[in-house]
């Protein structure tokens, strides 16, 4: 049976009426949920640690910012919007001591709950509202009257209102405009990690860099290679997003279609699928999570090096030059926000 998809007609903000919603962290997801909810008419406050870089940004957006513990005390629903590996510290120090019966803890990803990096008291709701897209796009689409689809999941339903609250939150951030699907913390965590490693981020970044390198190493100009392997990828993916892979094929040439169906499966062949299955296994067994937590606890050395190497890849310099010729490509202020985690 096809999964039930909740849309605008199934949702209401009523379960959040009269409630205070605290968003802890004002990064990618935090800023998007907070601003979308505020504009939907929900009472939102922000929780941050003293000295957080995000304080000024949130205040400039007209939001009231408190120290995390204070925000948790004031709130009925608490969205933990800090990086997954920072959640245990923030949770044990500032959230858990202030969680009382009747409150709802909300996540956008199940890592901390599924891999048990934190333990939550039994008398609070634990729910998830996970948009299937980056926070900055969740915000952008909401302001354009659109909405990124979202998942909801219930891990603890202490007051029997958990699902209503999750749906109301998903509605408030614009999720029901795109469609909301109910899942479990386990399913969301495992599929989300799989997607970002193999297809969305990891697989695509490596595919683009490999294609660029092959053309440049064969003597073609980096500009040609950039247009072919990165710029046009978005245009093709936009078509897939609008009308599926078959719909994309409607718009490409007959020769491109032949190359697609004949050569594509030789590039992404059975061995790639085998390695995807290995990646999935490492996620399911907890091996990936264990290694990632270890990396964050030992100073992010490998992580920072790999990110820096990525920034130095020649495709970045070529791309920056070519994108500057296309003023309609939205310029994002990401300077100083890249790499170097601690
Ligand atoms: N990025 C995304 O689009 C997606 C993220 N998610 C999930 O959403 C959650 C948040 O991730 P994401 O939005 O990427 O996070 P970000 O890395 O963008 O969040 C950073 C924010 O957390 C703040 N922060 C860091 N440490 C603390 C702390 N000790 N106390 C309070 N605030 C702190 C930062 O403050 P400062 O400015 O001072 O550094 C900043 O405001 C995660 O569970 C993630 O898996 C789910 C779907 C997509
Ligand atoms: C944006 C998203 O859904 C990701 C890639 O899984 C994430 O940032 O965690």
Choose one of 63, 108, 169 to mutate for the ligand 1 pocket test, by most ligand atoms within 8 angstroms of C-beta. Answer: 108
Average pLDDT over residues 195-212: 98
Superfamily of domain 5-183: NAD(P)-binding Rossmann-like Domain (3.40.50.720)
Q: Which atom of ligand 1 is nearest to the CA of 89?
A: 29
Find out whether the beta carbon of 84 lies less than 6 Å from any atom of ligand 1: yes
Identify the pLDDT of residue 331: 76
- Active site residue: 31, 33, 109, 171, which one? 109
Find out whether the beta carbon of 202 lies less than 6 Å from any atom of ligand 2: no
334 pLDDT more than 80: no
Which residue's CA is the nearest one to ligand 2's atom 1?
A: 134
Cα–Cα distance measured from residue 309 to residue 201, given in angstroms and rounded to the nearest whole number = 16
336 pLDDT more than 50: no
285 pLDDT more than 50: yes
- Region label for 176, one of left (φ > 0), alpha (ψ between -120 and 50) or beta (otherwise): alpha
Average pLDDT over residues 193-215: 98
Domain boundaries, the chain: 5-183, 195-324
Active-site residue flag, 109: yes
Greatest CA separation for the chain: 66
Find out whether the beta carbon of 30 lies less than 6 Å from any atom of ligand 1: yes
From the CA of 258, how far away is ligand 2's center (Å)? 32
Which residue's CA is the nearest one to ligand 1's atom 2?
A: 134
Identify the pLDDT of residue 329: 87
Find out whether the beta carbon of 114 lies less than 6 Å from any atom of ligand 1: no
From the CA of 83, how far away is ligand 1's center (Å)? 4
Identify the pLDDT of residue 2: 85
Which residue's CA is the nearest one to ligand 2's atom 7?
A: 134
Of the CATH numbers 3.40.50.1000, 1.10.1040.10, 1.10.540.10, 1.25.10.10, which one belongs to the domain with range 195-324? 1.10.1040.10
| Burial (CB count <10 Å: 0-12, 13-18, 19+), residue 242 | exposed
Predicted TM-score (pTM) of this structure: 0.95
Identify the pLDDT of residue 338: 44
Of 54, 55, 56, 30, which is closest to residue 44 (Cα–Cα)? Answer: 30
Written in H, E and C, the secondary structure of the chain is: CCCCEECHHHCCCHHHCCCEEEEECCCHHHHHHHHHHHHCCCEEEEEECCCCCHHHHHHHCCCEEEEHHHHHHHCCEEEECCCHHHHHHHHHHHHHHHCCCCCEEEECCCHHHHCCCCCCCCCCEEEEEEECCCHHHHHHHHHCCCCCCEEEEEEECCCCCHHHHHHHHHHHCCHHHHCEEEECHHHHHHHHHHHHHHHHCHHHHHHHHHHHHHHHHCCCCHHHHHHHHHHHHHHHHHHHHHHHHHHHHHHCCHHHHHHHHHHHHHHCCHHHHHHHHHHHHHHHHCHHHHHHHHHHHCCCHHHHHHHHHHHHCHHHHHHHHHHHCCCCCCCCCCCCCCCCCC
pLDDT class for 253, splitting at 50, 70, 90?
very high
The ipTM is 0.97
pLDDT digits (tens, 9 = 90+) for 34-55: 999 999 999 999 999 999 999 9
339 pLDDT more than 50: no
Identify the pLDDT of residue 342: 58
Find out whether the beta carbon of 110 lies less than 6 Å from any atom of ligand 2: no
């Amino acid at each position: 049976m096809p999964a039930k998809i909740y849309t605008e007609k199934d949702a209401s903000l009523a379960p959040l009426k009269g409630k205070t919603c605290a968003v802890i962290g004002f990064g990618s997801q935090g800023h998007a949920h907070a601003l979308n909810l505020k504009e939907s008419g929900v009472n939102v406050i922000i929780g941050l640690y003293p000295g957080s870089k995000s304080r000024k940004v949130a205040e400039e957006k007209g939001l009231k910012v408190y120290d995390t513990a204070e925000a948790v005390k004031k709130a009925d629903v608490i969205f933990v919007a800090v990086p997954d590996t920072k959640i245990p510290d923030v949770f044990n120090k500032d959230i858990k001591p202030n969680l009382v019966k009747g409150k709802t803890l909300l996540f956008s990803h199940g890592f901390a709950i599924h891999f048990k990096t934190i333990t939550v008291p039994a008398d609070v709701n634990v729910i998830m509202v996970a948009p299937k897209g980056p926070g900055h796009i969740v915000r952008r689409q909401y302001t354009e009257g659109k909405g990124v689809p979202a998942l909801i999941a219930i891990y603890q339903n202490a007051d029997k209102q958990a699902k209503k609250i999750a749906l109301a939150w998903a509605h408030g951030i614009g999720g029901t405009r795109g469609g909301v699907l109910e899942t479990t913390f386990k399913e969301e965590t495992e599929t989300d990690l799989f997607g970002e490693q193999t297809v969305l981020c990891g697989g695509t970044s490596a595919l683009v860099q490999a294609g660029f390198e092959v053309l440049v190493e064969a003597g073609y100009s980096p500009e040609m290679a950039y247009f072919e392997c990165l710029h046009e990828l978005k245009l093709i993916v936009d078509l897939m997003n609008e009308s599926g892979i078959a719909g994309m094929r409607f718009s490409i040439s007959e020769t491109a279609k032949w190359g697609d169906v004949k050569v594509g499966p030789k590039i992404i062949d059975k061995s790639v699928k085998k390695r995807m299955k290995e990646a999935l296994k490492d996620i399911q067994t907890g091996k990936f999570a264990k290694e990632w937590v270890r990396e964050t606890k030992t100073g992010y050395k490998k992580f920072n090096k790999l990110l820096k190497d990525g920034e130095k890849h020649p495709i970045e310099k070529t791309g920056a030059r070519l994108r500057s010729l296309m003023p309609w490509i939205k310029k994002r202020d990401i300077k100083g926000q890249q790499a170097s985690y601690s």
